[in-house]
Amino acid sequence: MRTRLDPSRRRAAIAEAVGRVLSRGGPDALGLREVAAEAGVTTGAIQHHFTTKDGMLLFTLEHHGRRLVERLSARAGSAPQPAPPRRVLRAIAMELLPLDEERAVEARMAAAFTIRAAANPELAVIFREQYALLHTLVADQFGRAGVPDADADARELLCLIEGLRTQRLLGEIGDDTIVAMVDRVLDRLEPNALPG
């Protein structure tokens, strides 16, 4: 028997394992035994904490979404309050884009959940909730920058980021292209701000 663990910790650990499995092997590799092995537990443990596979996936999406939003909020909220919006937006973009392996795993996992959500309303709800949070977060920064239509600018930036994630994980573009594109867009959206 392995170390006994706080249930929420164990659920989190399993959710992380789901992400790695999904990221590594694609949708066909997502089996309970595979996840269990990745998490270092047995299928019995998974069954105990989630009862069903769909429940596990639902929690996994919530878990990762929560973590991501927290990270982004920290980026937006830290520093002496009047941090330049451009810098905050750039930080948010970098946090979302798959520029290191950890973010790449997140991106691949998100993509895997995306199609499931397209055929599963429960998952789609989670996505929309998280997107709403993200949108207000970004739109606030555009608002602070004084652009005429902060909502539209926020939608466009998030949209571009989504596209960059997808194209990057297909190898259609490289890391340098990603960064260049983000800067290009930020320069245009807020031309009066100081560079950096």
Partner DNA sequence: TCCACTACATTACGACTGTAACGCAATGAG
Partner DNA sequence: CTCATTGCGTTACAGTCGTAATGTAGTGGA
Residues lying near DNA in the complex (CB under 7 A):
1-7, 10, 30-34, 41-45, 47-49, 51-54
Q: Which does 58 bind (CB under 5 to 8 A by kind): a second copy, DNA, none?
A: none
Least Å from the CB of residue 24 to a second copy: 7
The binder of 160, among a second copy, DNA, none, by C-beta within 5 to 8 A per type, is a second copy
Chosen from DNA, a second copy, none, partner binding at 48 (C-beta under 5 to 8 Å by type): DNA
Give me the least distance between CB of 35 and a second copy, in Å please. Answer: 15
Looking at the Cβ atoms of 83 and 183, the one nearer to a second copy is 183
156 makes contact, choosing from DNA, a second copy, none, with CB < 5 to 8 Å by partner type, with a second copy
Mind spelling out the 3-state secondary structure of the chain? Answer: CCCCCCHHHHHHHHHHHHHHHHHHHCHHHCCHHHHHHHHCCCHHHHHHHHCCHHHHHHHHHHHHHHHHHHHHHHHHHCCCCCCCHHHHHHHHHHHHCCCCHHHHHHHHHHHHHHHHHHCCHHHHHHHHHHHHHHHHHHHHHHHHHCCCCHHHHHHHHHHHHHHHHHHHHCCCCCHHHHHHHHHHHHHHHCCCCCCC
Least distance CB 38 / DNA (angstroms): 12
Residue with Cβ nearer a second copy (171 or 195): 171
The smaller minimum CB distance to DNA, of residues 1 and 170, is found at 1
